[in-house]
Amino acid sequence: MSTIAFLGVGAMGAPMARRLLAAGHPVTVWNRTRARAEPLAGGGARVARDPADAVRGADIVITMLAGPAAVLAVADAALPGLGGGARLVEMSTVGPGTVAELAARLPEGTTLVDAPVMGSVDRAATGTLSILAGGDVAPVEPVLAELGTVTRCGPAGSGAALKVVLINAVIGGVALVGEALALGDALGLPEELTRDALARGPLAGPLRRALDTDAHYPLGLAAKDTALARAAADLPLARAAHGLLLGASGIADQDLGRLVPHIRTERQETL
C-alpha cells in the first residue's frame, strides 16, 4: 500500500480521499479550512497541520485544489516536507502552463503527474471518475485506478491540456442548451416539447448534464476554466460562455446546470 498525502479535501477531494482510505492506503489529509478535513479522521486519516506536515514521508502526494494560484501556493508550502522519490499527482484543473511551472519548482527526484478528472462529486464517491493522466503514469496508476478509469494522454501537461478541452466543451454545451430553451421560450413553445426534442438530438448529452441534480461543478470554477481556454486560444464561444459565467457571479457557488435558467431569465429581462 502507498502512503498518500491528499491536499485539498473539499467537495471533490473528500470523497476521493475516502475511497483511498477504504482501499487500505495510509492517508494524511490537509485542507485550508481544517474543519473540512477533520471528518476524514473518522475513516482513519491523519489530519495534518500544514502542507509540509502532510507530505512528510508520503510516497504519493495528491493535490485537488481550486485553481492555478492555489496549486502553486500549496506546492510551495509543501516543498520543505517532500522527500526524495515522492510522486506528486496534480488532479486540479489548472492547464498545462501551470503544470510546467509546478514541475520547475519541484526538487530533484520528485516526479510530477498531471491527472485532472472529468466527473463531479457523485462519480468521485463511486470511484467512476474519468482520469486524464500525463507524464510517468505507471507507478501511480494502481492508486488512480481506485478513483476511476485512467486514460494515458502522453507527456506531462497533456492530461491538463485535454481537461481544458473537454470541460470547455461541456460548458459550451450546457450554455447552448440554455440558449435553445430561451429561444423556445421566445417562440412560444412549451418547455417540455423543446426539452424532448433536444433529448432526441445531438444536444442530448449536454441536456442531461444541465438537468443533473447529483453533480456539483460550481459556476465560479467554470468561469475559471473558460478563462484557461481563452488564455490558450482565441475562441469566440469560450469568450461568450465566459461572459455568461461572469454575469452569474451572484450564484457562483451553484452547479453548472444553474446556467440554463440564468440564461432564460436574462433573455426575459432584456425584452
SS3 content of the chain, % helix, strand, coil (to 5): 55, 15, 30
- What pLDDT digit, counting tens, does each position of 61-82 carry? 999 999 999 999 999 999 999 9
Please report the pLDDT score of residue 84 as a whole number: 84
Q: What residues in the chain have per-residue pLDDT under 50?
A: 271
pTM metric for this prediction: 0.95
Catalytic residue among 19, 87, 123, 163: 163
Please report the pLDDT score of residue 105 as a whole number: 95
Please report the pLDDT score of residue 270 as a whole number: 54
Residue 224 annotated among the catalytic residues of the structure? no
Residues 6 or more apart in contact with residue 27 via CB below 8 angstroms: 4, 5, 6, 17, 20, 21, 40, 44, 45, 46
Domain 4-154 has CATH 3.40.50.720: yes
Please report the pLDDT score of residue 52 as a whole number: 98
Please report the pLDDT score of residue 29 as a whole number: 98
Please report the pLDDT score of residue 83 as a whole number: 85
- Is the fold of 4-154 the same as that of 162-270? no
Q: Which CATH superfamily is domain 162-270 in?
A: N-(1-d-carboxylethyl)-l-norvaline Dehydrogenase; domain 2 (1.10.1040.10)
Domain ranges of the chain: 4-154, 162-270
